Each structure stands twice: as C-alpha cells, then as structure tokens.
Amino acid sequence: MFPDLSRPFLQANCQSSSELSVFFASDLWPLTSSHAYSTLTSLQRKRYLFVCINRRAEDNPTGCCAAKDSEEVYRALKGEVAARGLAKLEARVCTSSCLDQCATGVTVLVEPDHF
C-alpha cells in the first residue's frame, strides 16, 4: 500500500521537460512511512492538464499541435488556472509531447479523467 521509501521518487518538472528531480522520499519525510505516503499524496492536484506542444516537419501531412499555436494555449490555460487560484491544489497545466490527435487540432488531455 505504501511506496517503497528506499527507492528514488521521480518528480517531473512540468515547466521544463529537460529537468527531472530525483530524491528519496525518506530523506524528505523521515518520520514514518505512513506520514511520507500521506504527504506525497496530498501534494497531488485533482486534475492535470497536458497540452500537446509537439512539433513536426512542415511537410508532414498529419500536422502538429505546435503549428496550431498550442504553446499559446498552454500559456493561456496556465495563466487562467493561476488567476482563479486553482494552481496549488486543484489543477496543474503541463506540456506534453504528441498525444496522437494532432490532426484534429490542439490537444489537451485531462487526467485522471482520461478526457
């Protein structure tokens, strides 16, 4: 039920996909494993919005979300979530690579709803 605190806990930084934090949960919360588990789960937002910013070659027939201003959509969503005070507990807006829907327009995946 509880995570293995001896194994590294990975945390992706949604602001920059090139950065990845690795730390041991037991180093951060040495009290008890149940305390660490409840703290880790309480840090999670209720929703994660992944905005595809995939870029393909201009001659690719599938197209890509980046060519349809997906980065602008990402910034607008992120700003709106922050402006409404939802960024800390309710929702986090992150960028994503291809979600295989680029032909239909800018794609936003909402998790954990799988929508």
Q: What is the pLDDT of residues 62-99, one digit of tens each?
A: 899 999 999 999 999 999 999 999 998 999 999 999 99
Domain count, the chain: 2
Fill in the amino acid letter for 78: K
Domain extent for 17: 1-44
Fill in the amino acid letter for 35: H
Asked if 39 and 51 sit in the same domain, the reply is no
The SS3 call for residue 33 is: helix
Asked if 83 and 67 sit in the same domain, the reply is yes
Asked if 55 and 89 sit in the same domain, the reply is yes
User: Taking the complete model, does pTM exceed 0.75, yes or no?
Assistant: no
Asked if 30 and 16 sit in the same domain, the reply is yes
H or E stretch covering 94: strand 91-96
Q: Cα–Cα distance between 80 and 78 in angstroms, integer?
A: 6
pLDDT at res. 42:
56
- Residue 31 predicted with pLDDT over 80: no
pLDDT at res. 103:
83
Q: Cα–Cα distance between 28 and 58 in angstroms, integer?
A: 46
Mean of all residue pLDDT scores within the chain: 75
Asked if 29 and 52 sit in the same domain, the reply is no
Asked if 65 and 11 sit in the same domain, the reply is no
**Rounded mean pLDDT, 103-115:** 89
Q: Cα–Cα distance between 73 and 84 in angstroms, integer?
A: 16
pLDDT at res. 26:
44
**Nearest C-alpha neighbor of 107 from the set 16, 96, 57:** 96
* CATH number of the domain encompassing residue 99: 3.40.30.10
